[in-house]
Amino acid sequence: MDCIFCKIIKGEIPSYTVYEDQIVKVFLDINPDTNGHLLIIPKKHCLGLAEIDDNTLLHVMKIARKMETLLKEKLKIDGLTLIQNNGSVQEVKHYHLHLKPHYNEKNVIKPVDEIYNMLIN
């Protein structure tokens, strides 16, 4: 399988991981739309919403809550959008949930490694 997210899960491709457990991995998007743009991916490969099992989907949402708290505490976000694409609009064919922070004030995109250090310290 040539899935970039599966390769990230296996450690074949590096990532800015901010959270990981037996079910999911959470890391910063390397081409963020905003500071703190995170991806939550299940470790078990599944294409999209129709394929992900209910327990994993529920766990993804629980971790999304946890990540919202982290983003509020560390980056002082003012809002958060969750996006999950399927089918032809899905760039990587592995279920993933985008967490895109919003800020009331205009926010200059900072380097991903700088945001990573802010989140893990």
Q: How far apart are alpha carbons 61 and 80 in whole angstroms?
A: 13
Alpha helices in the chain (DSSP H): 4-10, 54-75, 112-120
Q: Any residues with CB less than 8 A from the CB of 58 and at least 6 apart, and which? A: none
Query: Which of these is catalytic: 37, 96, 98, 102?
Result: 96
Q: Any residues with CB less than 8 A from the CB of 37 and at least 6 apart, and which? A: 28, 29, 98, 99, 100, 101
Residue of 87, 86, 121, 119 lying closest to 18 (CA atoms): 119
Task: Give the position of tokens 């802010």.
Answer: 118
> Catalytic annotation on 96?
yes
Q: Which residues are catalytic?
A: 96
